[in-house]
Structure 1
Amino acid sequence: MSGTSLIIPPRPHRLRQRLFWIGFAALFCWCLYDFGFSPQRIWQGLGRLGNVLSFMFPPHLWTEWSEFSQILQGLGETLAMAFLGTFLGALVAFPLSFLGARTINRMGWPRFGLRRGFDVIRAFETLILALIFIRAFGLGPLAGVLAIAVSEIGVLAKLYAEAIENTSSRPVEGVQASGGSVLQGIRIGLLPQVMPVLMSITLYNFESNVRSGTILGIVGAGGIGFLLADRMGAYRWDETWSIIILIIIMVYLIDGLSGWIRRRLIRPSSA
């Protein structure tokens, strides 16, 4: 009897568990009801989706170089937009990350305010920033580059600062104990530890920005997304599917190349 009482949770604990699951189920059912979920609607939507997919096959094959070169130019713009946005964001985030790292900046309130500033920047979705910059600078890749760059400042600065905080302080202290300055301690003792991690973070974000650049093009920020939205608006579904295939191939190649570089950076001896 005593063994059974040890296994069975107390009555208040069981009551809280039941109330939690009842509340969760009620919230889930209310969301389905509020969003208009029904088996009939899902079935009708799947039928229309099947019609759209049927128009995509077979994929379109471009027979004229002028048309295909336009698609390649759009892919190149998306890739360049992601590269420039990531590079500019990393360029600004790198010095800010040292000011936001607890092991470097000992002043509590300035560091706290800077870290909260990173959170504010990250609160703005890249798509929202792109719409703002389109209104300010007009249509084209410039708005996409600025949107990615501003978004990356908040993301990379936070990740860089956390990576810096996780490094060992002994090499820095050793440099300073031998007569080196604070900047020399950072350059000689800290940067060799953290640079492979920072490069890996930057490359991973670049991969993500290549995919984000496609979405930004749909709202008018240039690149392959603009051409994709144009083909979808004209109901040229076979060309839409061909462009999607090219986007998948581009993302796959970028992911593979970036992953290979990250492995070389993190484990140079084994590579």
Structure 2
Amino acid sequence: MSTYSVKRPPRKIFFKITIFVLLTALYVWSFAGIDFNGFKETAGIISQAIIRGIFHPDWDYVYLPEGEDLLRGLLDTLAIAVLGTFISAILCVPFAFWAANNISKFKQISGTGKFALSVVRTFPEIIMAIIFIKAVGPGSFAGVLALGLHSIGMLGKLFSEAIENMDLGPTEALLATGANRFQVLWFAVLPQVFPDFLSYTLYRFEINVRSATILGVIGAGGIGTPLIFALTSRDWNRVGIILLGIVVMVTLIDMISGFIRRKIV
């Protein structure tokens, strides 16, 4: 039984070596640009205090009859994520059809749609939150606007890709029978893309829950506001219960959202 040795073309070997060298140079340049001066003397003490607070959380802060508590903060964070995701999921649909290549006959039209979505998602949520805090004042409303606007760019891109990957057979069949544009959209396009739309929306909701906890740190409402107050006052027991509450909430939402997405797909 004879064996044949397959030689790789020199061009492919040179290409792989070039990619490896470029990636190595990129990593070296990245590490060289980090100015690391070591840990502060108080870093160990603060770390021990945070760990002690996590293992000895302030259970009384879970629910208080009056004033802010953990449950109200988590519910506020959840409401910000729900409203921000709902707003973006509705408003991004026109942008998605605008940016889809297979909807318009002219590539310039879909190109402008893709460019508009790229501009929207260029700015992080925290930058948008700072802008909206200056515009409407601190609070949950600024967080909802920040998450909603940023998610339009992200969901619009995902929705447009779902539209581009759909089967055009049903669309062409309805057009051949004399159906109008609305009938084609309702009976041929939406049934194909709606499961993907819902799956992407749930996935974005998971991300927005995490983002909503961060926006509260700068005054955009949610559990981040009491967290930054507890960190500033070095109330590590309260920091511990807040972090524990965030972990439990995010874990439960991931499990529920993952279960729903598996059922949809």
What TM-score bracket applies, with the shorter chain setting the length?
0.7 to 0.9
1:59: Cα distance to partner?
1.6
1:19: Cα distance to partner?
9.9
1:29: Cα distance to partner?
4.6
Q: Which residue of 2 aligns with 1:17?
A: 17
1:70: Cα distance to partner?
2.2
Structure 1 length-normalised TM = 0.85
Q: Which residue of 2 aligns with 1:50?
A: 47
1:66: Cα distance to partner?
2.7
| Cα separation, 2, equivalents of 1:179 and 1:54 | 68
The gaps in structure 2 that reach 5 residues or longer are: none
Q: Which residue of 1 aligns with 2:59?
A: 61
1:255: Cα distance to partner?
1.1
Q: Which residue of 1 aligns with 2:185?
A: 186
Amino acid at match of 1:93: C
1:50: Cα distance to partner?
3.5
| Cα separation, 2, equivalents of 1:4 and 1:171 | 49
1:138: Cα distance to partner?
0.6
C-alpha distance 31-49 of structure 1, shift in aligned 2 (>3 A): farther
Amino acid at match of 2:50: L
Q: Which residue of 2 aligns with 1:177?
A: 176
Q: Do the aligned residues in 2 keep the contact of 1:62 with 1:68 (CA within 8 Å)? A: no
Secondary structure in 1 aligned to 2:118? Answer: helix
Q: Which residue of 2 aligns with 1:269?
A: none
The gaps in structure 1 that reach 5 residues or longer are: 267-271
Q: Do the aligned residues in 1 keep the contact of 2:81 with 2:208 (CA within 8 Å)? A: yes
| Cα separation, 2, equivalents of 1:62 and 1:193 | 50
C-alpha distance 178-138 of structure 1, shift in aligned 2 (>3 A): same
Q: Which residue of 2 aligns with 1:107?
A: 106
C-alpha distance 90-67 of structure 1, shift in aligned 2 (>3 A): same
- Within a 5 Å distance, the mapping from 1:14-93 to structure 2 comes to 17=17, 21=21, 28-29=27-28, 31-37=30-36, 41=38, 47-48=44-45, 50-56=47-53, 57-62=55-60, 65-66=64-65, 70-93=69-92
Amino acid at match of 1:52: A
Secondary structure in 2 aligned to 1:123? Answer: coil
Flag the structure with higher helix content. 1
Residue 232 of structure 2 is aligned to residue 233 of structure 1: yes
Structure 2 length-normalised TM = 0.87
C-alpha distance 17-44 of structure 1, shift in aligned 2 (>3 A): farther
Secondary structure in 1 aligned to 2:65? Answer: helix
Q: Do the aligned residues in 1 keep the contact of 2:50 with 2:239 (CA within 8 Å)? A: no
Q: What does the per-residue CA deviation read over 1:193-228, in whole Å, with 9 as the maximum and x for residues that have no partner?
A: 110110000010001100100000001001101111
Amino acid at match of 1:261: I
| Cα separation, 2, equivalents of 1:175 and 1:75 | 48
Q: Percent identity?
A: 37
Secondary structure in 2 aligned to 1:62? Answer: helix
| Cα separation, 2, equivalents of 1:257 and 1:24 | 39
